[in-house]
Chains A and B, each alone.
Chain A
Amino acid sequence: DAGVTQSPTHLIKTRGQQVTLRCSPKSGHDTVSWYQQALGQGPQFIFQYYEEEERQRGNFPDRFSGHQFPNYSSELNVNALLLGDSALYLCASSLLSMTAYQETQYFGPGTRLLVL
């Protein structure tokens, strides 16, 4: 059973460009959350998708947007990249049900984005 997968593993962009990161959740999971982890910091919640809708959002500008597909996979899009967007972007999957609170979120290996 494949866990959470993310692509690409590394990415280099220049300021002002746009980037799309991809995530496939663990089999059986229906909810995808995205986190940004700057160097030396803990991950920060960006947003969460369930049933193809944004369910929760953290304190990130509208330049950050996402999408969830019918197969539960998800994309994170960042427009007008800034140097400060350089970070490890982590995707986590879970099952949105009453029992979900007893389960951990499963994290992917992340995509490391460098903005020059």
Chain B
Amino acid sequence: KQEVTQIPAALSVPEGENLVLNCSFTDSAIYNLQWFRQDPGKGLTSLLLIQSSQREQTSGRLNASLDKSSGRSTLYIAASQPGDSATYLCAALIQGAQKLVFGQGTRLTINP
């Protein structure tokens, strides 16, 4: 059974800092790994999707990496801004099914 874990559960940093969010998964049989952003009371916004054959993806100030062999993914946010404050969720699309298995999320607060 695939389990996805995110550490830390919450993170508070001053504006301008670079930061890393961590995601680990127990089963390497995945099609892809996705990172989502969720604002309070809202739905999910897809940030980055990394195929199982890829090592990383970049979008603006965001960079996500994937290491299937170790069961880890990281989301790197450069030059953080208060508008980056949200909950960040990672999810693995498991092979043999099209269901996403989510971590519990990291609640990020960027202090001005």
Q: Do A112 and B43 contact each other (CB < 8 Å), given the known contacts A44-B102, A94-B98?
A: no
Q: Are the CB atoms of A96 and B105 closer together than 8 Å?
A: no
Q: A101-B93, A110-B42 are in contact. Are A31 and B105 (CB under 8 A)?
A: no
User: B61: CB under 8 A from chain A?
Assistant: no
Flag whether B76 is at the interface (Cβ < 8 A). Answer: no
Leading 7 A-B pairs by shortest Cβ distance: A42-B102, A107-B44, A109-B43, A45-B99, A101-B31, A104-B46, A42-B104
**A and B contact pairs by CB, cutoff 8 A, 11 listed:** A31-B98, A42-B103, A42-B105, A43-B44, A45-B101, A58-B99, A101-B32, A105-B46, A107-B43, A110-B43, A112-B41
Give per-residue flags for B31-65: 1 if the beta carbon is below 8 A from chain A beta carbons, else 0.
Answer: 11010100001111110010100000000000000
Return the chain A residue nearest B36 by Cβ: A107
Given the complex, which residues of B lie within 8 Å of A90, measured CB to CB? 43-44
Instruction: Give Cα A102 to B46, complex, Å.
Output: 13
User: CB within 8 Å of A: which residues of B?
Assistant: 4, 6, 31-32, 34, 36, 41-46, 49, 51, 89, 91, 93, 97-105
CB distance from A54 to the nearest CB of B (A): 12
The number of chain A residues with a CB under 8 A from chain B is 30
A96 CA to B93 CA in the complex, in Å? Answer: 13
Q: Does A33 contact B (CB under 8 A)?
A: yes
Q: Which residue of A lies closest to B52 (CB)?
A: A101
Complex contacts, A103 vs chain B, CB 8 Å? 49
Q: Give Cα A43–Cα B103 distance, bound, in whole angstroms.
A: 8
| Nearest residue, chain B, Cβ from A94 | B98
Known: A41-B104, A42-B91, A56-B97. 19 other contacts (CB 8 A): A33-B99, A35-B100, A35-B102, A41-B105, A42-B89, A42-B102, A43-B44, A43-B91, A43-B102, A48-B99, A58-B99, A92-B44, A96-B98, A100-B98, A101-B31, A101-B51, A103-B49, A104-B49, A109-B43
